[in-house]
Amino acid sequence: MINAKAQSWLRMLTFHVLLVVGSIVTVIPVVWVLMTSFKSNKEIRESALGLPARIRFENYVGAWTGAHFDRYFVNSVIVGVLTVAVVLIVGSLAAFAFARMRFAGNRAIFFLIFMGMTFPVTARIGPLLTFMYKLGLVDSRWALVFAYAAGSVPFSILMMRSFFRQFPEELEQAARIDGCSNLQFFLRVLLPLSTPALLTLGIFTFMGAWNEFMIALLLISKNALRTLPLGLMAFQSEFTTDFALSIAGINITAIPVILVYVIFQRSFIEGITAGALK
């Protein structure tokens, strides 16, 4: 009996050790980048691994004034928020129909939309560019909003559909007896009950828009309209030899994401697993 207990204790210890090692290896790059951002270039040259002599914010000040991170930040927020708004509205409306109504062609249409989850960005980028030029939307935030929203529509419908399906039929019947139309039932009953799912979808969509790179790279050329990934790239190619400044620039773009992650961690995880287990 004691032997078995010792064995299971040893096993737990092994798991913990492996997980600690894995966590350390995973976090080292982030910690190193944070640490290095407080060093001077001289310190980095002399010892890339050592702790900073003191906490100095000169690199951040330099990066902030050397590039227009404030502007890029605002652009990313605008594009992200608008994308989320569009996706939440059109996605949940469509998901409602797919989840709770029967209509001709619903399976075929759903399949065509679902297919969109497997398209790589390159498959649509050429005509998308041409189309945006024709619409006069190149170098406009709306181009990014529409392109990102279109990319997120399949996932949003898939996720909200399975969420809407959980509600019992009786709920709808009760609402009908009270004289609710489809739209009223959707707006007044279903949506308020779906706030956790909408929050998850919103966070997930926001991060997708916030992090997207290829479409932005091809659709935005004006410095004033750059989102953070583009701004970071421009900044890095300008200060390619200034180690300390470049590292601070990375952190300026990464820290807001880390903060959002710390606050909304559950929504991140749920967004990912929602697609997997349905």
Partner 1 sequence: MSVGTQERRSLAGLFAAFQRIGRRINIVPYLFILPAVIIYGLFNLGPVLASMVLSFFKWELLTPTSQFVGLKHYLYILRDKLFWNALSHNVLFLSMAVIVPVGVGLFLAVFMAEIGKGRTVYRSLLFLPAIFSGVVIAYVWKWIYHPFSGILNQLLGAVGLDFLTMSWLGNSRIALVSTFVAYAWASYGYSMVIFLAGLQSIDREIYDAAIVDGVNFFQKLFLITVPLLRDVFTFVITLRILTAMGVFSVIFILTGGGPYYATDVIGVYIYRMIGNYEMGWASAAATINAIIIVTMSVLFMRLREREL
Question: Of 119, 138, 140, 120, which Cα lies nearest the Cα of 129?
Answer: 138
Of residues 97 and 201, the one with the C-beta less far from partner 1:
97
Minimum separation from the CB atom of position 253 to partner 1 (A): 6
Q: Does 188 bind partner 1 (CB under 8 A)?
A: no
Structure tokens at 114: 């679902």
Structure tokens at 141: 């935030």
Minimum separation from the CB atom of position 149 to partner 1 (A): 6
Structure tokens at 44: 């980095």
Structure tokens at 244: 């300390």
Where b means 16+ CB within 10 Å and e means fewer, 54-69 reads: eeeeebbebbeebbbb
Q: Does 157 bind partner 1 (CB under 8 A)?
A: yes
- Residues between 229 and 248 that touch partner 1 (CB under 8 A): 229, 232-233, 236, 243, 246-247
Q: Which of 207, 225, 245, 248 binds partner 1 (CB under 8 A)?
A: 207
Minimum separation from the CB atom of position 221 to partner 1 (A): 12
Q: Does 275 bind partner 1 (CB under 8 A)?
A: yes
Minimum separation from the CB atom of position 1 to partner 1 (A): 15
Of residues 162 and 236, the one with the C-beta less far from partner 1:
236
CB atoms under 10 Å from CB of 79, counted, come to 26
Stretch that binds partner 1, among 61-69, 167-175, 193-201, 255-263 (CB under 8 A): 255-263
- Residues between 52 and 91 that touch partner 1 (CB under 8 A): 86, 89-91
- Residues between 208 and 227 that touch partner 1 (CB under 8 A): 210-214, 217-218
Of residues 162 and 182, the one with the C-beta less far from partner 1:
182
Cα→Cα distances 114→37, 102, 161, 171, Å: 43, 18, 12, 28
Rounded-to-integer distance, Cα 240 and Cα 230, Å:
15
Q: Could you tell me how many residues make up the chain?
A: 278
Rounded-to-integer distance, Cα 215 and Cα 77, Å:
17
- Residues between 87 and 146 that touch partner 1 (CB under 8 A): 89-91, 93-94, 96-98, 101-104, 106, 109, 112-113, 115-131, 133-134, 146
Q: Does 269 bind partner 1 (CB under 8 A)?
A: yes
Contact status, residue 143 vs residue 132, Cβ threshold 8 Å = yes
Minimum separation from the CB atom of position 65 to partner 1 (A): 19
Q: Does 45 bind partner 1 (CB under 8 A)?
A: yes
Q: Does 253 bind partner 1 (CB under 8 A)?
A: yes
Question: Of 64, 42, 66, which Cα lies nearest the Cα of 53?
Answer: 42
Rounded-to-integer distance, Cα 149 and Cα 206, Å:
10
Of residues 81 and 117, the one with the C-beta less far from partner 1:
117
Rounded-to-integer distance, Cα 229 and Cα 253, Å:
8
Minimum separation from the CB atom of position 173 to partner 1 (A): 17
